[in-house]
Structure 1
Amino acid sequence: MKKLVKLVSALTVVLLISAFTVNKEELGEGYKIGDIAEDFSLKNIDGKMVSLSDYKDAKGFIVTFTCNTCPYAVLYEDRIINLDKKYAPKGYPVIAIMPNNTDVKPGDNLEAMKSRAQSKGFTFPYLIDKNQTVYPKFGATKTPHVFILKKTDEGNQVKYIGAIDDNYKDASAVSAKYVENAVDALLDGKEVEQTVTKAIGCSIKV
């Protein structure tokens, strides 16, 4: 029994370390702050194709790579819903994208996405990156991984990349609301102070 407890403890430590550690291979080669993000066309859970250009009145976007099966993503679901409820009316809607290979993670297939969105009451599009062509352009490596885009004359400019906040375990214990701070600054016509943070979550499955 003691050996089992030690084994479980050791595995827990390994999982925690791996969650907070990013290998060189995992570092995104995609967009950097100031880059213009290409538009995309991905299937939503309602079967319709969605692009950023569909949002004529948007001031920008909270593009969030997330999924059904990652425990970190699940812990952040309510916060993602709240971000959309707070900022979509102000011009910054959430655009959620599921980037995983569904052969590797069947629990992230389109039917499972539909079920999850319905049970949680998602207020935003939940798109599937079926061919896994969009997330590499962004440089997303985790679920969740957030990219805040601001609509400009040149296109959708990347203004923030990283985590939603600084406490994935407990929303009530958050001390730094990275995404909220960034969007609030943009809405006030100010520069984002903290433009990059480390995304904490599960690696995207290829």
Structure 2
Amino acid sequence: MKKFGIFALFMVILMSFTNSTGYQPGDKATDFKLKSVDGKMYSMADYKDAKGFIVVFTCNHCPFAVKYEDRVIELAKKYKPKGYVLLAINPNDPAAAPDDSYELMKVRAKEKGFTFPYLFDEGQKIYPQYGATKTPHVFLLDKNLIVKYIGAIDDNVEDAKAVKEHYLENAIAALEKGQEPSPATTKAIGCTIKVKK
């Protein structure tokens, strides 16, 4: 009986550890309600006809996020007519990264002409659920909020024209054909998410 108790305790610890790493492909994501730079609250439930969601954890100041901004804008434009909604979320705590404050998010979105919601993860409640660790970090969900792909947008941070593998776009193409993306995960390359110490 004692052995069983130790085993049960071990399983609880193991499960709590596994859950803390966030979503894996095949998991159902929880919806969120976050404030965008336009002052409105957005959630995935607002998009009843969406075929899927491209959730991008990104920010203002990270050099990697900045290098991907134009690509994110293009992705939003390209896939919106196909029914995929792009939602960008800033997960950083402005106390740790002042350049990522809500006010400066508004400035950045206006400068770059964002055509998608740029949401603020106030209190940093959403990014740990997803398991995002970098900016940028992408999660592709189907219309039922099942996670289909997690990781990088493509294989070349430095040069959009030199990209050989369009991971996110390939994953969307697989969904369109009713297939599972392969790879379903890649390593996100970017800055660590900033948390107040």
- How would you bin the TM-score normalised by the shorter chain? 0.7 to 0.9
CA-atom RMSD in angstroms? 1.1
**Do structure 1's residue 195 and structure 2's residue 187 form an aligned pair?**
no
Corresponding position of 1:5: none
Partner of 2:66: 74
| 1:148 aligns to 2:143 (yes or no) | no
SS in 2 for 1:182: helix
Q: Percent identity?
A: 62
Alignment-mate amino acid for residue 158 of structure 2:
K
Shift of 1:151: 1.4
C-alpha deviations, 1:32-76, integer Å up to 9, x for none? 110000010000101111000001110110000000000000000
Matching residue of 1:58? 50
- How many residues align? The count is 177
Shift of 1:161: 0.2
Residue 4 (structure 2) aligns with: none
**CA shift at 1:188, angstroms?**
2.1
Instruction: Specify every segment of 5 or more residues in structure 1 that has no aligned partner in the other structure, as ranges.
Output: 1-27
Q: 2:94 aligns with which of 94, 102, 108?
A: 102
- 5 Å matches for 1:1-206? 29-152=21-144, 156-206=145-195
Partner of 2:11: none
Distance in 2 of aligned mates of 1:185 and 1:122: 27
Poorly superposed stretches of 4+, deviation over 4 Å? none
Matched residues in 2 for 1:114 and 1:90: separation? 27
Q: Unaligned regions of 5+ residues in structure 2, if any?
A: 1-19
Deviations 1:159-200 (A, max 9, x none): 000000000000000000000000111122222111000000
